Amino acid sequence: MLRCTPLTLRTCYTQSVILDLGVSPMRRREFIAALSAAATLPINAHAQQPLKIWRIGVLESATRELNTPNMNVFLKTLREYGYIEGENLVIEYRSTGGRNERLPELVSELMRLKVNLMLVRGTPEILAVKKATSTIPVVMFAVADPVGLGVAASLSHPGGNITGMDSFTTEVETKRLGLLKELLPEMKRMAFLGDFRNSAVQKQWNEVELAARPLNLRASRLDIRSALDVSRSFDAAIKEKVDAIRVGIDGTTRPNRQLIIDLAETNKIPAIYAAKEFVEDGGLMAYAPNYSELYSRAATFVDRIFKGANPADLPIERPTKLELAINAKTAKTIGIEIPVTLLARADEVIE
């Protein structure tokens, strides 16, 4: 007869079943082992589903290495929502490297990889994606006037597969040129450096022309398509004796960021940029949206779409704040004294 205690109750019960079933003594150990193993399995083991792997296609003009700080913010926010690269998240990052002619090829490649969503920065990039797909959800940012471009029906109700953030802010060029004038009260001539194949750059130039007139500034264009163009443009700026340069942010300036910064410093030409990342790498001054925040907001859009939201119904956002960043070290290097009033208004001063 079996004697059981609370600690041995399961074993006693198992042995009683074996006896009742008439299992031979030689098979009892095997039978007990099998039952014990089965008892350790979770009750719903048979109902477990394979882990969902989310795949995001990123389309940028800058390489992932150059874009590391912003991507780190994007991935950090996604982790907060439960998406972890290397576990349940795969990032397929593709960069034009300043060669916009590669856009159709890169978009097709991302589509062949069957990404669940595309994250797209830039106007030429979003136009290439819109042309290629109307079904894959897309989160965009740094796109100027998506409604005017035909990317969205309206800001409040995009109506298609694309949503995200519009980089357009009214009178921002007036503010940028005003900051330059405050820095350089005697400024008479300035130039706009950018890739004018980008429709956003053309819109910015139109604003620069309008903003320059009340300040009695003569503005000229420096159209670039490559690193060689960048060098030639600075030669032209020196020849024209420009007092300052407004640098656009596009598929040519971003990959050549350090070259532009170095040439401005070498030639002692003050420059104002449209992204703080230029100032962090040695540029003089920037007045722009906080792009790190835009990457974080993009992650929020991604989470909402992955949880079932329709991009057509997610309103497109606009930057609510622009920040002034100044590199005091660069100012000293090129022989510029920054007014105390300008330093006091800066959101960040890099010493």
pLDDT of amino acid 47: 52
**Helix, strand, or coil here: 277?**
helix
| Rounded-to-10 torsion of CA 43, 46, 47, 50 | 130
The DSSP bridge pattern shows strands 322-327 and 162-166 to be: unpaired
Instruction: Please tell me if the domain spanning 54-168+291-313 has the same topology as the one spanning 172-289+321-350.
Output: yes
Q: Is the pLDDT reported for residue 10 higher than 50?
A: no
CA distance 221 to 240: 11
**Helix, strand, or coil here: 211?**
helix
CA distance 255 to 61: 7
Task: Tell me the pLDDT tens digit for each residue of 76-131.
Answer: 999 999 999 999 999 999 999 888 899 999 999 999 999 999 999 999 999 999 99
Q: Is the pLDDT reported for residue 333 higher than 50?
A: yes
pLDDT of amino acid 14: 44
Of 305 and 46, the one with more pLDDT = 305
Task: Tell me the pLDDT tens digit for each residue of 55-89.
Answer: 999 999 889 999 999 999 999 999 999 999 999 99
**Helix, strand, or coil here: 339?**
coil
Residue 200 buriedness (CB in 10 A; 0-12 / 13-18 / 19+):
buried
Structural contact between residues 252 and 226, judged by C-beta atoms closer than 8 angstroms: yes
CA distance 280 to 257: 11
Residue extents of the structural domains in the chain: 7-42, 54-168+291-313, 172-289+321-350
**Considering the entire predicted model, what is its pTM?**
0.79
Question: Mean pLDDT, to the nearest integer, of 240-265?
Answer: 94
Q: Which CATH number fits domain 172-289+321-350: 2.40.50.140, 3.40.50.2300, 2.10.109.10, 3.50.50.60?
A: 3.40.50.2300
Q: Mean pLDDT, the chain, as a whole number?
A: 87
Q: Give the pLDDT band (50/70/90) at residue 264.
A: very high
Cα distances from 223 to residues 61, 190, 196, 248, 252, in angstroms, run: 17, 14, 6, 10, 10
pLDDT of amino acid 100: 87
pLDDT of amino acid 17: 42
Task: Tell me the pLDDT tens digit for each residue of 16-33.
Answer: 444 444 545 545 555 445
Q: Is the pLDDT reported for residue 44 higher than 60?
A: no
Q: Give the pLDDT band (50/70/90) at residue 262.
A: very high
Fold classification of 54-168+291-313 (topology level):
Rossmann fold (3.40.50)
CA distance 35 to 86: 37
Cα distances from 54 to residues 57, 81, 169, 301, in angstroms, run: 10, 13, 33, 14
